[in-house]
């Protein structure tokens, strides 16, 4: 179990690291390609759009061709696309390579999770999901300082080249240690569903991320968001009439899955804003360099490492319902404390808040990622992973959008063109408030929810 979890987690870490490390290299790449840094944002949006558009198909592809084969192929595609990104001689070549990279990432994340779910018994699922939680938490925090270091000391090409050895080792490990699973007949591919879901996800991701990064004029960002919302609505209508829809919305009738998805999405909106707001606050409000802010934000990633060995004991003692409700409330309070950060704070105090927040955040993600599959039957597991991954990607993007919107509104009310520390405080409080309903939703879980995985019922007896 540990070996399979580490192999999958390593591939997911590569994907999560790459999705954040590129931002720091955009100014350097803009000079090489002779375009403006704002134009270079297409290198990020093209990847996000490709990722969002293809994730819905991952479950069907895994059933049709085998999860192990698809996961290994996804690593190969992602690694080869990284090579093409590094070799790009123009912005058009880079965008094409990033789209290919997004295709690899779209298959790698949900199919990697599916591989683990099919190989790990429910009694070991909490420990396995602890490993998968770390890449999601470490990538966004480690990415900016790693990217800044590589671009400053070497060149922008290295932000893609670092994926090559990881990808090669990943393919070898999957081939050697993970056995092929049985293929199933998922039925005819839902092409209409793929088009509608692709338009919905691509429009929402691109539109919402544009609000956060300012990559597009507001009118175009609104148009894309509306297009995405219409695509999602069209898919919802289509899925109700299709016998085997690409994303099975009936999964939301399963209480443990539905609460994990809805509460987890609200929680991720708050957490998704953190990698966006904190570095900006430290650089614009505190006057720190990008590297200095990276060294501070990095400390929250240590929480993922601290939490891994304590996740199962905590869930065994208190159960999923208590942990998810109380932990979400604590996480909201700790995130809200970031609003009080000021330059005269002792650095050790900032470190303490970020470390504590990382601990509770990691435990919460481990619990969400585990309870989601507590009552999913084996034949619906692939559909559940693609559905879960789709909404996970969307909620993280919404976090950046909500944080950026709160920052902009606070500044506009004060009549200031540039964000002040008070504006960042408003933004942190706003995203923290999104996490409060997640605590209340968790209380709707049965007291015995997930006991088979946590051993909570056994501890009571």
At 329 the pLDDT is: 94
- Closest Cα to residue 25, out of 162, 136, 206, 169? 162
Mean pLDDT of 56-72: 88
d(Cα 454, Cα 459) in Å, to the nearest integer? Answer: 9
At 411 the pLDDT is: 82
Mean pLDDT of 54-66: 87
Q: What is the CA radius of gyration of the chain?
A: 21
At 80 the pLDDT is: 94
**Residue indicated by tokens 């123009």:** 90
At 458 the pLDDT is: 62
Residue 163 pLDDT > 80, yes or no? yes
Query: Worst-scoring range by mean pLDDT, 34-38, 318-322, 402-406?
Result: 34-38
State percent of the chain over pLDDT 90.
22
CB half-sphere exposure, 143, CA atoms < 13 A: 25
At 420 the pLDDT is: 84
Mean pLDDT of 430-458: 86
Using alpha carbons, list the distances in angstroms from residue 227 to 196, 200, 221, 304: 10, 7, 10, 37
**Residue indicated by tokens 């070799």:** 87
At 140 the pLDDT is: 65
At 328 the pLDDT is: 94
At 37 the pLDDT is: 62
Residue 290 pLDDT > 70, yes or no? no
Which pLDDT band holds residue 214 (cuts at 50, 70, 90)?
A: low
Tokens read off for 238: 């289509």
The residues, ordered by sequence, that sit 6+ positions from 154 with a Cβ below 8 Å of its Cβ are none
Which pLDDT band holds residue 83 (cuts at 50, 70, 90)?
A: very high
The DSSP letter of residue 446 is: -
d(Cα 96, Cα 31) in Å, to the nearest integer? Answer: 19
Contact 320, 364 (CB under 8 A): no
- Closest Cα to residue 201, out of 392, 11, 12? 392
Residue 461 pLDDT > 50, yes or no? no
Task: Identify the top-confidence range among 19-23, 144-148, 260-264, 296-300.
Answer: 260-264
Mean pLDDT of 249-255: 90
207 CA to centre of own chain: 17
d(Cα 260, Cα 49) in Å, to the nearest integer? Answer: 25
Query: Worst-scoring range by mean pLDDT, 128-137, 260-269, 329-338?
Result: 128-137
Q: What is the mean pLDDT of the chain?
A: 83
End-to-end CA distance of the chain: 27
**Residue indicated by tokens 């002792």:** 346
Mean pLDDT of 425-433: 93
Residue 459 pLDDT > 60, yes or no? no
- Closest Cα to residue 220, out of 229, 211, 231? 211
Using alpha carbons, list the distances in angstroms from residue 294 to 145, 151, 276, 288, 457: 5, 14, 12, 10, 42
Which pLDDT band holds residue 212 (cuts at 50, 70, 90)?
A: low
204 CA to centre of own chain: 15
Contact 283, 289 (CB under 8 A): yes
Which pLDDT band holds residue 442 (cuts at 50, 70, 90)?
A: very high
Using alpha carbons, list the distances in angstroms from residue 282 to 46, 268, 301, 395: 28, 22, 17, 24
Contact 435, 331 (CB under 8 A): yes
Burial class (CB in 10 A: 0-12, 13-18, 19+), 323: buried
d(Cα 388, Cα 401) in Å, to the nearest integer? Answer: 20
Using alpha carbons, list the distances in angstroms from residue 56 to 139, 194, 249, 365, 386: 22, 7, 12, 21, 6
Tokens read off for 427: 């933004």
Query: Worst-scoring range by mean pLDDT, 68-82, 103-117, 233-247, 404-418?
Result: 404-418
Residue 433 pLDDT > 90, yes or no? yes
The DSSP letter of residue 435 is: T
Contact 276, 399 (CB under 8 A): yes
d(Cα 119, Cα 353) in Å, to the nearest integer? Answer: 37
At 460 the pLDDT is: 47
Query: Worst-scoring range by mean pLDDT, 224-238, 317-331, 390-404?
Result: 390-404
Residue 395 pLDDT > 70, yes or no? yes
Question: What sign does the dihedral 294-436-322-319 (CA atoms) show?
Answer: negative
pLDDT digits over 318-347, tens only? 889 999 999 999 999 999 999 999 988 998
pLDDT digits over 171-210, tens only? 998 888 888 776 777 778 888 988 998 898 888 877 877 7
Mean pLDDT of 408-415: 81
């Amino acid at each position: 179990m540990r070996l399979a979890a580490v192999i999958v987690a390593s591939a997911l870490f590569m994907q999560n690291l790459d999705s954040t490390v590129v931002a720091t290299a955009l100014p350097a790449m803009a000079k090489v390609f002779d375009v403006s840094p704002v134009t270079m944002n297409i290198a990020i949006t093209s990847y996000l759009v490709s990722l969002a558009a293809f994730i819905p198909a991952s479950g069907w592809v895994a059933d049709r061709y085998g999860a192990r084969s698809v996961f290994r192929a996804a690593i190969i595609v992602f690694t080869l696309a990284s090579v093409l990104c590094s070799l790009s001689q123009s912005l058009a070549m880079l965008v094409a390579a990033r789209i290919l990279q997004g295709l690899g990432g779209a298959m790698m994340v949900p199919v990697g999770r599916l591989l683990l779910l099919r190989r790990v018994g429910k009694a070991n699922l909490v420990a396995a999901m602890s490993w998968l939680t770390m890449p999601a938490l470490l990538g966004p925090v480690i990415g900016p300082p790693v990217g800044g270091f590589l671009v400053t000391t070497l060149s922008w090409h290295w932000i893609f080249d670092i994926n090559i050895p990881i990808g090669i080792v990943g393919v070898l490990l999957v081939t050697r240690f993970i056995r092929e699973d049985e293929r199933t007949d998922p039925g005819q591919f839902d092409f209409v569903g793929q088009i509608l879901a692709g338009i919905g996800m691509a429009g929402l991701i691109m539109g919402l991320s544009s609000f956060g990064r300012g990559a597009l004029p507001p009118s175009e960002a609104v148009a894309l968001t509306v297009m995405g919302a219409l695509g999602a609505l069209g898919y919802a209508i289509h899925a109700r009439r299709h016998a085997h829809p690409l994303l099975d919305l009936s999964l939301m009738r399963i209480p443990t899955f539905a609460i994990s998805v809805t509460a987890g999405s609200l929680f991720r909106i708050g957490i998704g804003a953190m990698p966006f707001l904190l570095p900006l606050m430290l650089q614009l409000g505190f006057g720190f360099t990008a590297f200095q802010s990276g060294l501070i934000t990095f400390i929250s990633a240590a929480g993922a490492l601290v939490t891994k060995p304590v996740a199962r004991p905590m869930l065994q003692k208190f159960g999923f319902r208590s942990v998810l409700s109380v932990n979400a409330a604590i996480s909201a309070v700790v995130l809200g404390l970031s609003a009080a950060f000021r330059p005269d704070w002792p650095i050790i105090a900032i470190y303490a808040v970020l470390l504590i927040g990382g601990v509770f955040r990691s435990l919460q993600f481990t619990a969400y990622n585990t309870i989601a599959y507590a009552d999913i039957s084996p034949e619906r597991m692939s559909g559940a992973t693609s559905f879960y991954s789709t909404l996970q990607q969307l909620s993280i993007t919404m976090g950046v959008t909500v944080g950026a919107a709160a920052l902009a509104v606070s500044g506009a009310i004060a009549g200031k063109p540039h964000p002040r520390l008070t504006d960042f405080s408003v933004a942190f409080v706003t995203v923290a408030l999104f996490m409060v309903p997640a605590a209340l939703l968790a209380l709707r879980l049965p007291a015995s929810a997930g006991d088979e995985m946590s051993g909570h019922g056994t501890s009571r007896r």
